[in-house]
Amino acid sequence: MPGPALAGRRIVLGVCGGIAAYKAVEVCRRLVDAGAFVSPVMTRAATRFVGEVTFSALASEPVRTSLWDEPEPIPHTRLGQGADLIVVAPATARLIGAYAAGISSDLLTATLLATRAPVLLCPAMHTEMWEHPALADNIATLRRRGVRVLEPAAGRLAGGDVGRGRLAEPVDIAGAAIALLSGEGELSGKADLAGVEAVVTAGGTREPIDPVRFIGNRSSGKQGYAVAAELARRGARVTLVSTAAQPQPSGVTVVEVETAAEMEDAVLGAGVSADVVVMAAAVADFRPKASAARKIKKADGVPEIILEPTTDILAALGSRRRPGQVLVGFAAETAAPGSSRRELLAYARDKLTSKGADLVVANDVAAPGVGFAHDTNAVLIVGTGGEEIDVPLASKDDVARAVVDAIARRIYNNQEQP
């Protein structure tokens, strides 16, 4: 009969000063129950939320809170060198910033800098803090260095607010620790896209008719944002060119645009050096040839709007791609009832050839729960190597994982070729 999942493993549990510190008590219990030897380290601010005696009673040894109050002269070195894993839950914006900058102002940050063990950060903070560009940059820096991040969930926050920033549940944190130390699950091993530079587009472009009206579409940008977030989670440096008003994914640089021409300039500029370009945006095929300088009044009669085609950005990328670059297109279609997959496959295959893409992600936006504005999607991923990957109705995060898996396989195959 197998023993506990973490038997014989030493885990340093760091606890920072936030209201979510009370959940770290449950994390500690679960890690101990899984067989781990848990050494708790609390910041001074953490002791304002949870008493030291609580962790000392539950953990494998008494809490440590200071570099100076211990009998040994270098406690951070002993903790860092002896750990199989360091888990920080909750990880505050202050801790994340200090860790990214290499500032060892307390025992916990000193221990993080003194270890070569894997590190699992579990952030918790208000939504505005989690979405701040400085925090996103720090998270991206740490991910590039191999730190694993279990992102916060959306839910009720301190003070009655609701949003993203809630600490992951203790059962999920303990599960992530087990995955890291057992070599199973998506948190195990190095980030498979570390060092990869990616450009992703999201949202629908708006082509102005006058200062008030525009030609647009129903794209929310959710799928493009999910792809960008998944790429960043797996270590890529991601630039997201977006027209959408969605929360900024952690570790992603967002470039805001509105029109197809603005998106073209941003994508072709950033795409020159990118290893991966994912065209998930719904770019308008046509735009008014001229936009009125002032609002068109009803009394002026029905305006005559002359349209002209916009640049096909995906085709432009395909015509100038460099060797080894992975190009991914999206195809939002409306297939006839009963023949959805057959038509999607034909559309996707045609787009692969005509645009010069490696992968095309096609979906039938007329199907229930699929495509624009929904939190779910169902896609067919088609590749030049003959790949046909059906992803049935699932969350857009799950679809993003399937898309990025296909991208990662393509990058790996490119690297293996002489």
Residues serving a catalytic function are 217
Whether 59 contacts 42, CB under 8 Å: no
**β pairing state of 359-364 and 162-166:** unpaired
Rounded CA-CA distance 198/256 in Å is: 16
Residue 219, burial from CB neighbour count under 10 angstroms (0-12, 13-18, 19+): buried
SS (H, E, C) the chain: CCCCCCCCCEEEEEECCCCCHHHHHHHHHHHHHCCCEEEEEECCCHHHCCCHHHHHHHCCCCCECCCCCCCCCCHHHHHHHHCCEEEEEEECHHHHHHHHHCCCCCHHHHHHHCCCCCEEEEECCCHHHHCCHHHHHHHHHHHHCCCEECCCEEEECHHHCEEEEECCCHHHHHHHHHHHHHCCCCCCCCCCCCCCEEEEEECECCEECCCCCEECCCCCCHHHHHHHHHHHHCCCEEEEEECCCCCCCCCEEEEECCCHHHHHHHHHHHCCCCCEEEECCECCCEEECCCCCCCCCHHHCCCCCCEEECCCHHHHHHHHCCCCCEEEEEEEECCCCCCHHHHHHHHHHHHHHHHCCCEEEEEECCCCCCCCCCCEEEEEEEECCCCEEEEEEEEHHHHHHHHHHHHHHHHHHHHHCC
**Cα distances (angstroms) measured from residue 35 to each of 2, 148, 412:** 12, 22, 37
> CA 169, 171, 172: angle at the middle one, nearest 5?
65
CA atoms within 13 A of residue 176's CA, in its CB half-sphere: 23
Residue matched to tokens 């995955």: 179
Can you name the residues that pair with 359 across neighbouring β-strands? Answer: 328, 383
